[in-house]
Amino acid sequence: MRYQFIAEHQHEYPIALMCRVLDVSASGYYAWGKRQPSEHTRKDAELAEQIRIVFQANRGVYGSPRIHADLQDHGIKCARKRVARLMREQGLYAKRPRHRTVTTHSDPEAQAAPNLLQRIFSAEEPNAKWVADTTYIWTAEGWLYLAVVLDLFSRMVVGWSMAATQDTSLVIQALQMAIARRHPPPGLLHHSDRGSTYTSMSYQTALVQADMMVSMSRTADCYDNAAMESFFHRLKGECLDEQAFQTRAQARSVTFDYIETFYNRVRRHSTLQYLSPLRYEQLMS
C-alpha cells in the first residue's frame, strides 16, 4: 500500500522524500514498480471495469446484488462479495432514497371498501392484483402530480398519469391507460388508499364498469399499500431527489423516461429474482 501511495503521488512530491517519510527504501520502491501485476490483479482490474460500466449504464442505482446479477446474465462468473469489494474500492455506491412524505387526503364522508389485499403483495398471474397511488414532484412552476397503477405480479407500471392538479381525472386517466394496455379479465383486485380521488363516485364507477373488485387500505396505514410506497420511494431516490426542475414539462419527461425506459424494461427487482418487470413477464407468463 505504501508503494502504491508513492506511485500515485510521484508527480506531487519527490520520490526520495516520500520513501523516507513512509520508511521504505527507494530501491525497494523501484523494484516494486518493475514487477508485472499478478494474474489476480489483472482479472480484478478487468472485472472492476465491467462493474463500472454496468453501474453507469444503470444510472448509478444498482448495489452489488443487482450488478452481480447483471454480470451473471452476461456470462461473467464471479462471487457477489468480490463485486462488493471492487465497488467499494472504486467508490461506487447505489443512490439511497430519502424518506417519502405521505400525501393522502381522505374524504371522511366517503364510503371506503374493506382491505381485501391484506398486505399480500404477490400474484400468481398478470392482471390479478393492481395497486394504485399518487405522489407529487416539485418544479419551479409548482407541483406536478403523478398517479400510478402497478401490477403486483411483476411490479410493472401498467398505467400512469401526470397533471398540474391532483383531482379525480388524474387517477382515472392512469386507470384508463392500465385497462387499455392490459385488457384485464373480470374480477381483478384493485387496491388503493382511502384518498378522496379513489373514493370518488366517478372513480368507483370506473372500477365497477371494469368489473374489478375494490380493496382499500385502512385509515392512515401506508403499510397496507407498501408495494406502491416502495415504487415511489425508488422513483424519488433513484431519479427525482437530485433534480431541480424548472418546468413541469421537464419533470414529466424525466419521470416518463424513468418509468417506461428504465424501471419497466431494465431495472432489476429483488422480488423478481433480479429480473426487470418486462423480462419477468416474458419468462413467467
For 133-178, how does the pLDDT look when each residue is reduced to its tens digit (9 = 90+)?
999 999 999 999 999 999 999 999 999 999 999 999 999 999 999 9
- Check: CB of residue 246 under 8 Å from CB of residue 140: yes
Q: Is the pLDDT of residue 110 over 70?
A: no
Residue type present at position 266: V
Q: Which residues contact 223 (CB under 8 A, 6 or more apart)?
A: 119, 229
Residue 189 has pLDDT above 70, yes or no: yes
CA 74 to each of CA 54, 68, 70, 206, 278: distance values in angstroms, whole numbers, following the listed order: 11, 10, 7, 44, 18
> Can you tell me the distance from the alpha carbon of 126 to that of 271, in angstroms, rounded to the nearest whole number?
15
Q: How far is CA 113 from CA 131, 187, 214, in A?
A: 14, 15, 6
Separation between Cα atoms, residue 276 and residue 156, nearest integer Å: 9
Name which CATH class applies to 129-284.
alpha beta
* Higher-scoring residue by pLDDT: 105, 61: 61
Grade residue 95 by pLDDT with cuts at 50, 70 and 90.
Answer: confident
Tell which residue, 95, 161, 107, has the closest CA to residue 134: 161
pLDDT of residue 197: 95
Distance CA(245)–CA(137), nearest Å, equals 9
**Separation of alpha carbons 62 and 51, rounded Å:** 10
Edge-first strand order for the sheet with 189-192 is: 156-163, 142-151, 129-139, 189-192, 213-216
pTM: 0.75
pLDDT digits (tens, 9 = 90+) for 56-73: 888 788 888 999 999 988
Which grid cell is 133? 397511488
**What are 211-220's pLDDT values in tens digits?**
999 999 988 7
- Distance, CA of 196 to CA of 209 (rounded, Å): 19
> How far is CA 198 from each of CA 10, 26, 206, rounded to the nearest angstrom?
65, 74, 10
Report CA-CA distances (Å) from 268 to 33, 54, 209, 222, 277.
42, 12, 34, 24, 8
pLDDT in tens, 27-50: 888 887 777 666 777 788 888 888
One-letter amino acid at 46 equals E
Confidence of residue 2 (pLDDT cuts 50, 70, 90): confident
- How many C-beta atoms surround the C-beta of residue 169 within 10 A? 16
d(CA 87, CA 70): 14
> 29 to each of 9, 13, 38, 111, how far by Cα in Å?
13, 15, 17, 78
The DSSP bridge partners found for residue 188 are none
Query: Hey, which of 10-24, 45-59, 195-209 has the most confident mean pLDDT?
Result: 195-209
Residue 7 has, within 13 A of its CA and on its CB side, a CA count of 11
